[in-house]
Amino acid sequence: MRLHRNLVFATLDALSEIFNEGAYADKVIEKTLKRDKRWGARDRSFIAETTYDIVRWKRLYAEIAEVKEPFDRENLFRIFTVWATLRGIKLPDWPQFEGTPTRRIKGKFDSLSKIRKMRESIPDWLDETGVAELGEETWEKEIGALNKQAPVLLRVNTLKTTPEKLQQILKEEEIITYKVKGYPEALQLEERANVFRTQAFKNGLFEVQDASSQMVAHFLEVEPGMRVVDTCAGAGGKSLHLAALMENKGQIIATDIYGNKLKELKRRAKRAGAHNIETRAIDTTKVVKKLYNTADRVLIDAPCSGLGVLSRNPDAKWKLQPEFIDNIKKTQAEIIAKYSKMLKPGGKMVYATCSILPSENQQQVEFFLASDEGKEFKLIRDQKLLSSETGFDGFYMALLEKKE
């Protein structure tokens, strides 16, 4: 691989924003890729993947480069040099690369790789939390899996097409996919590609959605004609899946405290041809109370630490703090207590998170069932999905029924 100055500089600019200004990696990369219209697919891919890679291994690379935050331009070049050296990339004769200690870099990598928090490039507190919650052996495997680049998964929109038809359509646009056993609407990309540019995407034939996330709507056991409330709908990936499973029949009420996310959901629903979704922003407590005892099904895709999706959001490792996890657990407990009241007797509810921590998952369900609000409920089944076992995102889901 030959390094090009403008691509390396663009990558370093992106890293500076992410590390020094606390900006979100996906937003920074999206903005950076618009900088030069002459960049082709390979150039964009270099910037995006190199930036994500260095974000993922920040602690390890900074330790090898012997630099500390905040990183100035010289520090960022040293980190980049470590990245390139460990990948066996020939360094050009730019002044910034003069005197690169190639052998020392490799030696330090070998010795630091013996320490898990360095090898997996995570903060001390996260390593301690992982061991405390999952045990040494499971955590070791899980954090290793979460440090791999996430595959690209599509969810076929069955309101408009079938997996077989979509495979054919995408093949004509030179995108090769294959089916994923056990996930009826999932197609996995053989090679990474910008699927958002395809006509198939513009026509609403699919959404990008991880395979684990695709299981949640199925877990809720919806049927056409039901009244379903998606309580933390966000931009609506699961609402759209529910609409397809319900064949556009019945009603889905998508609520969220963020009105701007629901606007995005409306746009996506229009593209997908999902006509049975109604959005309601939770701007007062009345919005929730009006829905008490009205729903056949309730989905609580609760806010969480997001530790199950580190492979696609590696910068979360550096933004997350232990206090945030403590606070989010309180929020989860409040949400499940409040939103469970929307169910009719005999109705079913799914509590789901994209976390792998039992304290956000099984323990929240146990806590709810032991509470006054939870006495009317019983746990039907739950499922924890670990990245190390599936190759997809870490997820948890529990199906609860309100007694008649």
User: For 308, which DSSP code?
Assistant: G
Phi-psi region of 236 (alpha: psi -120 to 50; beta: other; left: phi over 0): left
Tokens of 42: 């390979």
Tokens of 103: 């052998």
CA distance 91 to 21: 28
CA distance 352 to 349: 10
Establish whether 232 is a catalytic residue. Answer: no
Candidates 362, 215, 230; CA nearest to 299 is: 230
User: For 121, which DSSP code?
Assistant: T
Which is it for strands 227-230 and 295-301: parallel, antiparallel or unpaired? parallel
Cα end-to-end span (Å), the chain: 65
Given a contact cutoff of 8 angstroms between Cβ atoms, the answer to whether 21 and 109 are in contact is no
Q: Exposure of 70 by Cβ count < 10 A (0-12 exposed, 13-18 middle, 19+ buried)?
A: exposed
Three-state secondary structure call for residue 132? helix
The active-site residue out of 170, 211, 354, 356 is: 354
Residues recognised as catalytic = 354
